[in-house]
Amino acid sequence: MQALMMPAPLQIAAVLEHAAHWHPRTEIVSRLPEGIIHRYTYAEAAARARQLAHALSALGIKPGERLATLAWNTHRHFELYYGISGLGAVCHTLNPRLFFDQLVFIINHAHDRLLFFDLTFLPLAEKLAPHCPTVEKWVLLAGPEHLPAGSQLPGLCSYETLLAGQPTAFEWPVLDENAAASLCYTSGTTDQPKGVLFSHRSTLLHALSACLPDCFAASATDVILPVVPMFHVNAWGLPYVAPMVGAKLVLPGPGLDGASLFELFEAEKVTFSAGVPTIWLGLLQFMRDGQRQFSTLRRTIVGGAACPPALMAAFENELNVTIRHAWGMTETSPLGTAGTLKAGQDALPKAEQDAILAKQGRVIFGVDMKIVDDTGQALPHDGRAFGDLLVRGPWVVSDYFGAPNPGQLTASGWFATGDVATIDPDGFMQITDRSKDVIKSGGEWISSIELENLAVAHPAVAEAAVIGVASEKWSERPLLLVVLRPGQTVSKAEMLAFFEGKVAKFCIPDAVLFVPELPHTATGKLLKTQLRKDYAGYQW
Ligand code: AMP
């Protein structure tokens, strides 16, 4: 029997229209690459997104066509999210930190027709254009006064000129909720990047779950500042979450250093933020250096890489800010789990609570997960057995965009994340490694993440990486690479002694090397493939 409910499809444009209608005066504040602060309201943002939809229609943009962005978190990028997807086209966010060849590959693979870029990326756009024949028009995200003289960029125009004079009313088309809305390529540390194509439905369901109290706990009383870039899996859904709940949105543009962020947090009274551990480590140092305190910031989400427990403790104890740990990936939109205590766990001793919160968290409704062994057999949720983490759900990828063998990726009904994890009896999942990074020593598995977390808890250590290096006797043994904080020294023996009593003896690295820096991927993760190559011949 069919239900008697309105079959209204889930639509991205409806989120902004909701905010424009019910929170018209709530602000969106952006720091722009042009060096100024821009301030307007949801009502004005929606009017401009509608103007953009008119402009794109006039350019002949059809549903399903890909339009790329090369941009920081700003109000214009926010308008592109809604104007492009609302029209039925696909907003393809490019990560400017990728290698040049990867960007060329991605733009051509996606057949991007238009490319919107910030002033910062003008030199990059000029370099890319000759290699990207599908891009008919390059649009500078600024006013016409910033257009460079004599540029060779095809069809170059300014975004403000594109919008000028367009009507502010627009009838958004009613789209199939499963239609593609946005596209993001994974960073691809080994292979070529792969495109994950999000739908209107997946985006809205993901955002709704993200708002839940045990996840982002987003509210109309919040002021949300996504440090996570809008080119990293749609800034973890925050550009949808904020208008959905009517929260004020603060967009930091290119200023992601401690001083710029702190200034914006304070000036705009930010209450909630989200980003990768590297950002918070930088901000923590800045706060400590000036003995500063936040006046309104109370909680942040840290994800994208394991959050060191030492970072959580420092934010809580020194800055009175709660860090919630979350896990996800491009293929999961990205939220899969978030870490908050269950009923009764707040009565546990503090150390036990901290150990629970250091895990990657519990699944949010909509995501199902399991861990399996090498033969695909499900493993127990006892917090000890670890295996490959598999996930499924309405915002989990079913196939990559343009994959040569459609249907294979999730033929089992599950998506294999490539992460190795445990799940405890309360449902808290803990990533112990990427399957490629796990160290196999004498038949036992050693978690490189656990060792890295311990290493960065040492006061002299700024960053640490642990990789497996071939050993005749054990097949692999852990090698620790450490970047020291400026002006700090510590001996190798002291460094290794720091692990004693904290992990099983066989897990303690066999050697430590002090290095000036560690390689990172375009999304800020440690580039372990590079490290394994560099230290492949290491003699114990
Ligand atoms: P990406 O698709 O580039 O966002 O990368 C996703 C991968 O980042 C995951 O498969 C994990 O290996 C890693 N990751 C994300 N969040 C966390 C976290 N909280 N702790 C540990 N690893 C994480």
Pick the atom of ligand 1 nearest to 302's CA: 19
Give residue 28 CA to ligand 1 midpoint distance, Å: 29
For residue 447, is it within any domain? yes
* Inside any domain, residue 525: yes
pLDDT tens figures, 17-49: 999 999 999 999 999 999 999 999 999 999 999
The answer as to whether 33 is a domain residue is no
Rounded to 5 degrees, what angle do the CA atoms 480, 482, 487 make? 155
* 305 CB near ligand 1 (under 6 Å): yes
In-domain check, residue 457: yes
The answer to whether residue 15 scores a pLDDT higher than 80 is yes
Which residue(s) pair with 439 in the sheet?
A: 446
Percent residues over pLDDT 90 in the chain: 86
Is the overall model pTM greater than 0.95, yes or no? no
**What's the CA-to-centroid distance between 327 and ligand 1, angstroms?**
6
Q: Which of 352-388 are b and which e, b meaning 16 or more Cβ less than 10 Å from the residue's Cβ?
A: eeeebbbbbbbbbebbebbbbeeeeeebebebeebbb
Q: What is the CATH number of the domain that holds 459?
A: 3.30.300.30
Which two tokens mark 447?
Answer: 């978690």
Residue 67 lies in a domain: no
Question: What is the span of the domain harbouring residue 530?
Answer: 438-534
Q: What type of residue is 274? A: A
pLDDT at residue 131 is higher than 60: yes
**Residue 274 beta carbon below 6 angstroms from any ligand 1 atom:** no
Least Cα distance to 520 among 299, 281, 326 occurs for: 281
58 dihedral zone (left: phi>0; alpha: psi -120 to 50; beta): alpha
Give the contacts of 530 (CB within 8 A, at least 6 positions apart). Answer: 519
Q: How many independent structural domains does the chain possess?
A: 1
Q: How much is the pLDDT for 190?
A: 53
pLDDT, residue 521, reads 83
- The atom number, within ligand 1, closest to the CA of 325 reads 19
pLDDT in tens, 326-356: 999 999 999 999 999 999 999 999 999 999 9
Helical (H) or strand (E) element with 266: helix 258-267
Residue 436 CA to residue 46 CA, distance in Å, equals 44
303 lines ligand 1 (CB under 6 A): yes
As a whole number of angstroms, the distance between CA 323 and CA 274 comes to 9
Q: Is 329 in the pocket of ligand 1 (CB under 6 A)?
A: yes
What is the DSSP code (8-state) at residue 331? G
Segment among 116-120, 196-200, 372-376, 443-447 with least mean pLDDT: 443-447
Tell me the CA distances in angstroms from 290 to 34, 273, 283, 287, one per residue in order. Answer: 28, 21, 11, 6
pLDDT average, residue stretch 277-290? 91
Nearest atom within ligand 1 for CA of residue 361: 19
Quote the pLDDT of residue 374.
85
pLDDT of residue 192: 78
Mutate which of 233, 417, 431 for ligand 1 pocket (most atoms within 8 A of beta carbon): 431
Query: Model confidence at 212, in pLDDT bands (50, 70, 90)?
Result: very high
Does residue 100 fall inside a structural domain?
no
Band (pLDDT 50/70/90 cuts) for residue 537 is confident
Torsion of CA 104, 110, 113, 114, to 10 degrees: -60
The per-residue pLDDT for range 372-425, each reduced to its tens digit, is 998 999 999 999 999 999 999 999 999 999 998 888 999 999 999 999 999 999
State the pLDDT at residue 301: 97
Is 34 within a domain?
A: no
Burial classification of residue 64, based on how many CB atoms lie within 10 Å of its CB (0-12 exposed, 13-18 middle, 19 or more buried): exposed
Q: Report how far ligand 1's centroid is from the alpha carbon of 302 (Å).
A: 11
Question: What is the Cα–Cα distance from 436 to 529, expressed in whole angstroms?
Answer: 9
pLDDT confidence band for 435 (50 / 70 / 90):
confident
Residue 443 pLDDT greater than 80, yes or no: no
Q: Is residue 483 part of a domain?
A: yes
Q: Distance from the CA of 163 to the center of ligand 1, in angstroms?
A: 37
The predicted pLDDT at position 339 comes to 97
Average pLDDT score over the chain: 95
